[in-house]
Structure 1
């Protein structure tokens, strides 16, 4: 086995969501172990109310591992993956359709400096405004891949898979 990947779905979604399912299957076919926490009970608390329980669930999942994992998150899953990286070691972050804030939640989006990170966002994202993630990426000098897609990034699965494979290769080479 190569390493561990934890894939976090977006709000009001599930571990069987299209993006996390496709990426998990791709990683598993290459010998990576994956986990997809189920945040449905947390999401029942509303957007702002779900953040702290999601962070606690993801952090506990990471802490139970024997090595730092790659965290992959979509939307709310990206938001909590970044915040969890501040508290526990992670091998990398692949963050899709990342919100830079959750209305009603006091903390803004952040992540641990020095962690290999790729942000992927749709030009037409109607849920998470481009300006926030663009400004964050610019401040941190992080790679930001902009795709001609909306929040769900459903038309960009091939491009996302290619970037995911590139990140897995980089992590495997670093190990």
Structure 2
């Protein structure tokens, strides 16, 4: 049974960004409802300064949901989605180009381990090094799909969309 998806864009981006827009389209075509919070005001506080306001905004959106939502995030959106999952129940995490750390912040990326999760990263990511996410996934035994791409993952948007569709199908079967 389809549910609700909250898609969080990265820094220096917006709710109409390529990846979150493409993934919203996939979810909606499968009968899922979607929303894309706008974090651009929060992002004016800088990378480290935007974390807490982004998490607070995401908490509000999660709390407003009738059922546990699926969180999708790209880069900073993935970072705050993972951290939000530690505090509020969610149905799944689909996270792209996740940073392990944000310079200037004491917070480290983490996710709730009892939540279905898929991490996707680019081999050539020069913003969020793949080695850090590989080590994170290895320590937690989480699935990590690494593609031959950079931080934007722009060469794999369609493939990521197909993977997202499979992810949502699995969640719907478990519901």
Q: Provide TM-score, normalisation by structure 1.
A: 0.98
Query: Any unmatched runs of 5+ in structure 2?
Result: none
Separation in 2, partners of 1:46, 1:172: 37
Q: Is the 8 A contact 2:26 2:164 kept in 1?
A: no
Q: Report what 1:119 is aligned to.
A: 119
Q: Do residues 20 (structure 1) and 20 (structure 2) align?
A: yes
Q: Where does 1:35-114 land on structure 2 (aligned, <5 Å)?
A: 35-114=35-114
- Secondary structure, counterpart of 2:5 in structure 1: strand
- Secondary structure, counterpart of 2:82 in structure 1: helix
Post-superposition Cα deviations, 1:69-106, rounded to whole Å, max 9, x if no partner, equal 10000000000000000000000000000000000011
Residue 126 of structure 1: how far off its partner (Å): 0.9
Q: Report what 1:136 is aligned to.
A: 136
| Higher RCO (CA-CA < 8 Å; seq separation 6+) | 2
Size of the aligned set, in residue pairs, is 175
* Poorly superposed stretches of 4+, deviation over 4 Å: none
Q: CA RMSD in A?
A: 0.8
